[in-house]
Amino acid sequence: MTRFYVTTPIYYVNATPHLGHAYTTILADATARFRRLFGDTVYFLTGTDEHGDKVAQAAAAAGESPQAYADRISGIFQETWRRLTITHDQFIRTTAAPHRKAVQRILQKIHEAGDIYFGEYGGQYCFGCERFYMERELTDGKCPDHLTVPTYIKEENYFFRMGKYQERLLRHLAAHPDFIRPERYRNEVLAFLKEPLEDLCISRPKARLQWGIPLPFDDRYVTYVWFDALINYVSALDYPDGDLYAKFWGGEQEPIAQHLIGKDILKPHGIYWPTMLWAAGIPVYRHLNVHGYWTVETGKMSKSRGTVVRPLDLVDRYGYDAFRYFLLREMVFGLDATFSEEALVARLNADLANDLGNLVSRTCTMLERYLQGRIPAPSAAATTLDMALPQTVEAAKAAARSAVESFAWHRALEAIWEIVTGANRYIDSVKPWELAKRHPTDLERVLFHLWETIRQAALLLSPAMPDACAAIWRQLGITLPIPKARMSTEGTWGAPVGTGRVEKGEALFPRVETAAIRAKVAAAQGRAAAGASQRKTSSEQPGEPPLLTPEEFGRLELRVASVVAAEAVPKSKKLVKLRVDLGGEQRTVVAGILQDYAPETLVGRQVILVANLKAATLMGVTSQGMVLAATAPDGRVVLLQPDREVPPGSIVN
């Protein structure tokens, strides 16, 4: 049995939880659930970081003692994680006695080993970051994070001989290329290590800051907050003697700990932490997994601009599963992503309501209608079409497993979606409603394959969307609660699971059509459909998008056209010139699709053309119509085409 120890950063209690904190925690949670599903022994740690300047200042501003303040904000984090059904095994707080003891123990050990020394240091100090900056790290003389001019401070302090471990760290990075992943962050650390690594100031004089863990060898000082915080990853396991420590960190085994962090705290985790561990005689972690940053459309989330995104607001508005799905699906692991409610709603409506929700609902409807809610019997005989379903499930399982291994949930969900689209396609091709009239045995076989495929998809998706997938199993009539299921048993094709009756419930993912989102979509469509009427009808509310009358819609002439030739418009980055056949008539049309389609791949395919649009000249080419396309959430253009080939010129209505 594989052991898996996953940690999130411990969050500062100087702010309440926002989207960024929720993302890391949900990502760790989905991964922990996934590993449990696959039979691993998991330990999942999260918590709050409660010492240091930042917290002391926030407490003072709130008029509370640091401890009372930390208790209150830590409580808000714990409550938020409860509402998001985070399945952590422990919530650590750095003000708790066992952690304080472990920090002092490690400090003592490193001090005795001679890797902590006393000295004087003068340097540029940023109070926001609570650390000294080297001149070369500053941007225009300012802290790159806070954009404030640091203060020059000269004082006596304790230093950790971090520089001594530079070579060892470089050797470790060379021997374990996936120590820090994705690679771009490994490269960032390597770039940093090109310069000599300086020693780390690990104390703050009590005269300046009291809110910290006293140094065991000099109580005039408290511990630098990062030196204190990083140790949580082992103090939580009762370092050095605890059973948990032996099981998930120490002992003879290969390191298994996996830290998950945002890119903002790469340096402490990629440089301070491994060198601290070596100095303390503790083995290093297995992987540092680094994700990108969520920004909002206006840039960084900012309190003063009122752009901080609160996770629970979104859960209240869109449901907890949709929120989790969106975060996991939207962000390419390692890269930054932009958060917007429009993008969330687009995913909710397209992936969840349309693809998954419809699949479950149409299947349950058929099971109720044709089998009176009875669960179809597994069938031995299967056609090639049927067999494609278990094959898709197996392929998705393997792909998802390998993606989740490196926290790449966007890839895992993409792979699992192959099952959902495969099953929807299967329904469209086998048409169970036609079998119902003439071939009841075939119908039973088909419905079994659908039922089983959805059962499998829900199991694989349950770490990402726990409640919705539990509801899917209940609708399918499965009595075993989904969190009890394991891949090796209930995850095999046709495995027996406790079964009752299929009962279609409430819509799993109701479509969201908010006025604001409709208005945005309409504005985008309005830009595209040049010439469409903008006149308001009397029934419309102010601010609502103008609605078309059937007559107005009827003025649009939409036709299917076949592409017979395609080439890039010279000197244009976006435009493609298409020659299209409308059945007896050929036209030239210009489309802004070059970034998403190579011209040669377009020849032979069918498109939908707005055929009665006034001609327009673009970069010297006259376009006699407009090709219809959708814009995907990532901004890519996706051409519309008929579901199967029809004669060119066919009318679309």
Q: Which residues are catalytic?
A: 18, 21, 126, 129, 143, 146, 300, 303
> Judged by CB under 6 A, which stretch of 15-23, 169-177, 365-373, 548-556 contacts ligand MSP?
15-23
CB of 92 to ligand MSP, least distance (A): 10
Residue 9 binding ligand MSP, by CB under 6 A? yes
| Binders in 222-241 for ligand MSP, by CB under 6 A | 229-230, 232
H helices of 193-331, where?
Answer: 225-230, 232-235, 243-248, 266-267, 273-279, 311-318, 320-330
Enumerate helices (H) and strands (E) in the chain, giving the number of each: 22, 25
Looking at 4, 5, 6, 20, which residue binds ligand MSP (CB under 6 A)?
20
24 binds ligand MSP (CB under 6 A): yes
Q: Which of 306, 387, 301, 309 is nearest to 341 (CA)?
A: 309
Per-residue binder mask for ligand MSP (CB under 6 A), 259-288, x = binder? --xx-xx-----------------------
Residue 251 near residue 240, CB atoms below 8 Å: no
Give least dist CB 25 to ligand MSP, A. Answer: 8
- The string of DSSP codes covering 156-211 is EEEEE--GGGHHHHHHHHHH-TTSEESHHHHHHHHHHTTSPPPPEE-EEETTT--S
106 belongs to the binding site for ligand MSP (CB under 6 A): no
Nearer to ligand MSP, 262 or 545 (CB): 262
Of 505, 464, 510, the residue nearest 348 (C-alpha): 510
Nearer to ligand MSP, 21 or 93 (CB): 21
Report if residue 257 touches ligand MSP, rule: CB under 6 A: no
Neighbours of 313 (CB within 10 A): 12
The smaller minimum CB distance to ligand MSP, of residues 263 and 374, is found at 263
Give the count of beta carbons closer than 10 Å to the beta carbon of residue 152.
Answer: 10
- Sign (positive/negative) of CA torsion 351, 355, 359, 362? positive
State which residue, 229 or 348, has the beta carbon closest to ligand MSP: 229
Q: Which of 4, 5, 6, 10 binds ligand MSP (CB under 6 A)?
A: 10
- Please report how close the Cβ of residue 174 comes to ligand MSP at its closest, in angstroms: 25
The nearest distance, CB 49 to ligand MSP, in angstroms, is 3
Give the interface segment with ligand MSP, choosing from 18-26, 111-119, 522-530, 548-556 (CB under 6 A): 18-26
- Taking CB under 6 A as the criterion, the residue among 4, 11, 69, 159 binding ligand MSP is 11
Closest CB 147 distance from ligand MSP, rounded Å? 16
CA 650, CA 391: separation in Å to the nearest integer?
A: 37
Handedness of CA 76, 77, 83, 87 (dihedral sign): negative
Nearest CA among 272, 261, 402 for reference residue 334: 261
Contact 269, 261 (CB under 8 A): yes
Task: Supply 69's token pair.
Answer: 């303040």
In the stretch 47-76, what mask flags binding to ligand MSP with x, by CB under 6 A?
--x---------------------------
Q: Which is nearer to ligand MSP, 9 or 250 (CB)?
A: 9
367 binds ligand MSP (CB under 6 A): no
Which residue of this chain has its Cβ atom nearest to ligand MSP in the complex? 20
Q: Is 294 in the site for ligand MSP (CB under 6 A)?
A: yes
CB count, 10 Å around CB of 514? Answer: 12
Q: Which stretch binds ligand MSP (CB under 6 A): 16-24, 201-209, 238-246, 539-547?
A: 16-24
Q: In angstroms, rounded to a whole number, what is the distance separating the alpha carbons of residues 366 and 116?
A: 71
CB of 228 to ligand MSP, least distance (A): 9
293 binds ligand MSP (CB under 6 A): yes
Q: How far is the CB of 200 from ligand MSP (least distance, A)?
A: 15
Q: Is 462 exposed, middle or buried (0-12, 13-18, 19+ CB in 10 A)?
A: buried
How is residue 519 written in tokens? Answer: 């208005």
Cβ proximity to ligand MSP: between 229 and 465 the closer is: 229
- Pick the closer one to ligand MSP by CB: 11 or 34: 11
Show the binding pattern over residues 384-413: x = contacts ligand MSP (CB under 6 A), - = does not. Answer: ------------------------------
Nearer to ligand MSP, 165 or 333 (CB): 333
Pick 202 or 472: Cβ nearer ligand MSP = 202
Per-residue 3-state assignment (H helix, E strand, C coil) for 543-574:
CCCCCCCHHHHHCCCEEEEEEEEEEECCCCCC
Q: Where are the beta strands (DSSP E) in 267-392?
A: 287-291, 294-296, 337-339
Half-sphere exposure of 45 (CA within 13 A, CB side): 29
Residues 199, 162: contact at Cβ < 8 Å? yes
Which residue, chain included where needed, has tokens 């411990």? Answer: 10
Nearer to ligand MSP, 38 or 227 (CB): 227
8 Å CB contact between 565 and 579:
yes
Q: How many residues bind ligand MSP, per CB under 6 A?
A: 19
Instruction: Look at residues 349, 126, 100, 110 and name the one whose alpha carbon lies nearest to residue 239.
Output: 100
The least CB distance from residue 234 to ligand MSP, in Å, is 11
Give rounded-to-5 percent helix, strand, coil for the chain: 45, 20, 40
Q: Check residue 23 for interaction with ligand MSP (CB under 6 A).
A: yes
Binding site for ligand MSP (CB under 6 A): 9-12, 20-21, 23-24, 49, 229-230, 232, 261-262, 264-265, 293-294, 301
